[in-house]
Structure 1
Amino acid sequence: MARPTARVLSLLELLQSGGLRTVAELADRLDVDERTVRRYVQHLVDLDVPVESVRGRYGGYRLARGHRLPPLMFSEDEALAVLLGLATARTAGTAQETARAKLRRVLPAPLARRLDAVLESVSWTAPVAAPAPDSEVLLPLAAAVRDHQPVRLDYTAADGRRGDRTFHPHALVVHNDHWYVTGTDAGQDRTLRLDRIGSVRTLPGTFEPPEPHDPAERLLHRLATVPYRHHVRLRVRATAARVRGRLPAGLAIVEDHGDHLDVELRVESLDWLPAVLASLDAPFTIEQPAELRDRVAAFADRLREYAR
Structure 2
Amino acid sequence: MEEILKAVEEKDCKKVASLLYYKVEGLSDEELTEILEKAEKLALECKDPELYKLIVYYFHELLGVDKISEFEKMAKEEDTFEAKFQLADLYYLLGELEKSLDLYRALLEEETEKGNKENIAKIYYNMALIHEEIQEYEKALELMEKAEEIYRELGKEEEVLHIAVYKAYVTFEMGEPYKAKAMLAGVIPKAMGNDKLLAELHLSYEEIFEDDENYDAALQECLYALTRAKGTEYYDVAFDALIDVIWQLMLEDDFETVYLHMDMFANALPELKEFFEGVKAIALYKDGRADMEEVRKFIEKVKDRRLLDLLEFLGEAEM
Q: TM-score, normalised by structure 2?
A: 0.33
Greater share of strand residues, 1 or 2? 1
Higher RCO (CA 8 Å, separation ≥ 6 residues): 1
Greater share of helix residues, 1 or 2? 2
